[in-house]
Structure 1
Amino acid sequence: MMNKDGFFFFKFDSKEGMTKVLEGGPWLIRKMPLFLNVWAPDVSLSKEGIKSIPVWVKMYNVPIAIYTDDGLSLLASKIGTPKRLDGDI
């Protein structure tokens, strides 16, 4: 469901399902990034200014000597703060 201010609301059957969606991603709607937060009745609905955004980066032609957790983290730190290394390496 979406309200008049452009906020989407999702209802889940379980807390595990909600957690899976919140921790998964990245999520897009109409090719636009979707920022997710848990809602509660006392939460103020306002669109805050974005100061930073996590991005998923694919790196190609990485030298084999750098192809370690530490090496990839060092390489990724050149564009920002690495959060997670994808398990599909």
Structure 2
Amino acid sequence: MFDILALLQCLLPEIKVTTMRQLSQIITAMLAMSGRVTMLGISRWTLSGGSYRTVIRFFRTVIPWTTVFWVFFRRHLFCPNDVYL
């Protein structure tokens, strides 16, 4: 499996390190899961440090999603020669 944390490094100026670590664990767990995705299921599929309380704390965290999506797009998807609407 590819290293998700490496892809998300560009987001560190916008997101706290703790939130980034939690996001990485949650993404990895969600990719491994099948069926319904619940907070309890996510916590069961995470490695150490991904308790149910940690998952709850992550989903209560305010994240500037518009900025996060823009920074990720500019870093990994943007091509200056293409036209975007």
TM-score normalized by the length of structure 1: 0.28
Bigger fraction of residues in helix = 2
TM-score normalized by the length of structure 2: 0.29
Work out which structure has the larger RCO, using CA pairs closer than 8 Å and 6 or more positions apart in sequence.
2
Bigger fraction of residues in strand = 1
